[in-house]
Amino acid sequence: MTKFLLAVHVLAAIVAVGPVTVAASMFPPAARRALAAPEDVRAAEHVRLLHRICRVYAGVGIAVPVFGFLTAGAMGVLGDTWLIVSVLLTLAAAVLLIVLVLPRQEAFTEGGGSAEATVRLGMVTGIFNLLWATVTVLMIVRPGSTTGA
């Protein structure tokens, strides 16, 4: 059962978190292009599509921590430091996405925003992506783990 839970957890991370990180990273440059050419309908559609990808896959991404906790419970590692740090970093990434990234993207899709704001959004998105990269490394390296990895 542990292998099944781990497989679902990893697949959910790849399928859900991957698209969010890529689309979120693509959003600020796309928003700048749309701002630079307000008459370009395709640029505005591209921005809306990237926001929708982020929003939808953020919802699907709920499966990652759910199956992560189930897997950790099955492996008996819920109290391990590397897992606790990973959970805290995941929580921080989720908060950034929900509180800063998605609302700022929404503002752009509704016609608000400036080129300067896209720079700030790019910075926040970079931090979001760095948090996920750190969680990924922790999940692979698992400092102090006794599972042999």
Per residue in 66-82, pLDDT (tens digit) is 999 999 999 888 998 88
pLDDT of 147 higher than 60:
no
Task: Report domain extents, the chain.
Answer: 2-141
What does the pLDDT look like over 83-104, one tens digit per residue? Answer: 999 999 999 999 999 999 999 9
Cβ burial 79-92 (10 Å sphere, 16+ → b, else e): ebebbeebbebbee
pTM to 2 decimal places: 0.88
- How far is Cα 12 from Cα 17, in angstroms, rounded to an integer? 8
What does the pLDDT look like over 23-69, one tens digit per residue? Answer: 999 999 999 999 999 889 999 999 999 999 999 999 999 999 999 99
**Best CA proximity match to 90, nearest among 137, 53, 47, 147:** 137
- How far is Cα 94 from Cα 75, in angstroms, rounded to an integer? 24
Encoded tokens for 24: 């979120």
